[in-house]
Chains A and B, each alone.
Chain A
Amino acid sequence: MKKPKPDEMEYYQQEDLLKLDWGPRKTSWMDTAVDFRPGTYIYPGKAKNLRVLDLPNPRDWAVTDDDWQLPEGWKQIVLEGMAERLSKYRSFKVFMDICVRCGACADKCHFFIGSGDPKNMPVLRAELLRSIYRKDFTALGKVFGKLAGGRELTPDVIKEWFYYFFQCTECRRCSVFCPYGIDTAEITMMGRELLGLLGLYVNWVIEPVANCYRFGNHLGIQPHGLKDTLEFMAEDIEEATGIQIDIPINKKGAEILFFTPSGDFVAAPGIYTCMAYMLLFHELGIDYTWSTYASDGGNFGLFTSHEALKRLNSKIYAEAKRLGVKWILGGECGHMWRVINQYMDTVSGPADFLEVPRSPLTGTVFEHARSTKVVHIMEFLADAIRHGKLNLDPSRNDHIRVTFHDSCNTARGMGILEEPRYVIRNACNHFYEMPENTIREQTFCCGGGAGLGTDENMEMRLRGGLPRGSAVRHVQEHHGVNQLAAMCAIDRATLVTVCDYWAPGVQVTGISELVANAMIFKGEKRRTHDLRLEPIPGMTEVGEESETVEVAANE
């Protein structure tokens, strides 16, 4: 058998990963250098991608290089960048000042739980930056230096930032437990922006940003390719249900612009969720359109800088305006919704050319989206179910015992907790919650968000996925759970690995997929296969029996 590599799950033995030491290290954290071991860091951004975006210092380099080819005057650049951000962001300034190092956040981070590395305690992650802040921006730090917790900014500090700010999924779990609500995610964001000023990006983030900038989606799918992709899905839909759907693309004058993360165009299980959207819209007679120019709701700009976020996000309103839609509907995604919920209106608004969203099915006006004009698919479906507009037969999902993973961004980043549960309960008869301290506001991250979900980072993903994986394992053992529902495209990509590793046998699914599988469509054929084209237990008996008979007769 081929020997597995560090970017493959099989490379890691569970016993090894579970040999965890959460205790303090022998050397003080300020004197402990980073150990760049394969599997725990992400490859740097390629020069060509930086050039697409006109970002500083494009060059090809490796994380293991001694010299990272920092630009001339890099120290000045960082300090000035810090000064600028301290004056712009009250959050940054306050979070730099008020931490009392009480340690309440320390053991709340999935990366600390799964790795034991002290610098993965949120408080120390923040101290990496705070120590520089103290040295250069506070009176005590200027006078007392190290005694006041300050330290000199050196290339090693920059390397440390790069390592640990890309070992934070910006999930905000720590902030829930901090008495001051210090959000280490915001500190990580600032750290990443400062690194960006020196041309230090990870390729897993910056390539999607470059793609999205030029082609409208992270994967760089061109318009004709997108059309092909959606048409393939339509064929599978017809095979599963016997229903022919049409695919509106760049259709002017449609009522609704629909967008979703592009991850759901290409990889299972995300594609089944994408198929479900099209099927549901067809059945419900919704006048919507896809856009090729704004073909990604996801926004890896969020993991880069506020500026990159704005450059990508601006396309959505621009496209809504060009197509003349009334309002916007967004699919199942995590960070896309963090952007919509927290930033979109401010960075790209006002969307005063759109109408306050109103469901064509029920007449419900979504007042809470009065300013952004963007509605979440779960809000839309929950409202439709509430008004009895979906013809659901949850017993079609009786072979599924499902649990629900709150994505960090939708739970803590926007606070949508009940709608997904309501929809799942209506689509499935067997729903089980994971333990309380691992769901809702306290949910554990998948370990691969914020641009960390790449295979070269496999060790950290598995470690960061340990708490979530253990919670899944718990419901698997106690309730026989066999599917994990998540309304986030990154989750649907990364949790597959986490489940295969920590809770093998549990599949990952989107919520809309569950709905489409439970739904009785007008003119559907006898449903023997689900959207994955897998036989539905209990529905195939007749067919299967006759097949077995035939096979037996032939033998």
Chain B
Amino acid sequence: MHWSMLIILLRHLRLFTNPVPFFVTALERADGFMEVGLPVVFITTVVFVVALAYLLYRRLAIGQVRYISLVGDYFPLFLLLGIGISGFWLRHLAKTDIASVKEMVLGLARFAPVVPETISPLFYGHLFLVCVLLAYLPFSKLTHMAGVFLSPTRNMANNNRTVRHVNPWDYPVKVHTYEEYEDELREKMKSAGIPVERQ
């Protein structure tokens, strides 16, 4: 799932760049090695959609996981599924005119929008979902990737006995000193023959 996501993102580069970087083409070739039908079915697309469908199935079918799930857990799944399916549709069923898409995208990028006629409404649907995704991304659990690197249980060494770590917000606390302790218990200590500081 996560790998296919990355590869798809890279493959999308061909929509933005000119000439198409060599590694994008190489990726496409590798990814399309199972030539089922024409144009090539990219394995990652299939894996991506199937993986999402599995994740959704898991959330719905396993009772415990459904019980802990929030709206925020379903939403990104549906969103990504929507993007994935519409994207698949665009490539394999609707036969998008890549040249005109490129024209438009590059137009957008130069702040000089062009709206070619030959792009299907589905493309706009796809684009809209992607925009929602981009807007939602920073607030959502989809930023989970960052967590792997931020988690203190993951990125800190457990070496406190060897190396001193200083707490930046350390503050003094009230303690019960030995003097206070001995003052309260001195007589008992003396009669038990336990050494004391002051007689």
Interface residues of A (CB under 8 A from B): 22-25, 28-29, 54, 88, 90-91, 94-95, 97-103, 106-107, 118, 121, 123-124, 127, 138-140, 147-149, 175, 179-183, 213-216, 222-224, 227-228, 249-252, 292-293, 307, 310-311, 314-315, 318-319, 322, 340-347, 349-350, 367-372, 374, 414-415
Contacts and interface: CB of A to CB of B under 8 A. Distances in A.
A377 B153 CA distance: 26
B127 interface: no
Interface in B155-180: 158, 160-167, 169-170, 173-178
A90 B181 CA distance: 37
A179 B147 CA distance: 9
A292 B169 contact: no
Given A91-B153, A94-B147, A181-B151, A139 B139 contact: yes
Contacts of A228: 192
B158 A148 contact: no
Contact of B67 (A118, A149, A216): A118
A118 B148 CA distance: 26
A91 B182 CA distance: 40
Contact of A94 (B67, B150, B176): B150
A404 B141 CA distance: 40
A23 B72 CA distance: 22
B159 to A, nearest CB: 8
B65 A106 contact: yes
27 contacts: A23-B64, A24-B63, A28-B67, A29-B68, A98-B146, A98-B147, A101-B141, A103-B64, A106-B64, A107-B64, A148-B70, A180-B151, A181-B153, A216-B181, A222-B188, A223-B192, A224-B188, A224-B189, A224-B192, A227-B193, A249-B195, A292-B189, A293-B178, A318-B177, A319-B178, A345-B165, A415-B158
B152 A91 contact: yes
Interface size class of chain B, counting residues whose CB lies under 8 Å from the partner chain: 35 or more
B98 to A, nearest CB: 34
What are the 10 tightest A-B residue pairs by CB atom distance, in nearest-first order?
A98-B147, A224-B192, A181-B153, A24-B67, A149-B70, A24-B63, A103-B65, A91-B152, A372-B161, A181-B154
A292 B162 contact: no
Nearest to A98: B147
A275 to B, nearest CB: 20
Given A369-B161, A372-B160, A88 B65 contact: no
A371 B164 CA distance: 6
Given A24-B67, A118-B67, A367 B174 contact: no
A29 B67 contact: yes
A100 B144 contact: yes
A23 B63 contact: yes
A490 to B, nearest CB: 21
B56 to A, nearest CB: 13
B174 A180 contact: no
B192 to A, nearest CB: 4
Interface string B17-34: 000000000000000000
Given A100-B141, A100-B144, A415-B158, 13 more contacts: A29-B67, A29-B68, A91-B151, A101-B70, A123-B68, A182-B151, A213-B176, A250-B194, A315-B178, A318-B178, A346-B165, A346-B170, A374-B161
A346 B167 contact: yes
A251 B195 contact: yes
Contacts of B181: 214-216, 293
A95 B153 CA distance: 10
A346 B160 contact: yes
Nearest to B158: A415
B61 to A, nearest CB: 12
B175 A315 contact: yes
Nearest to B136: A140
Contacts of A369: 161-162
A227 B72 contact: no
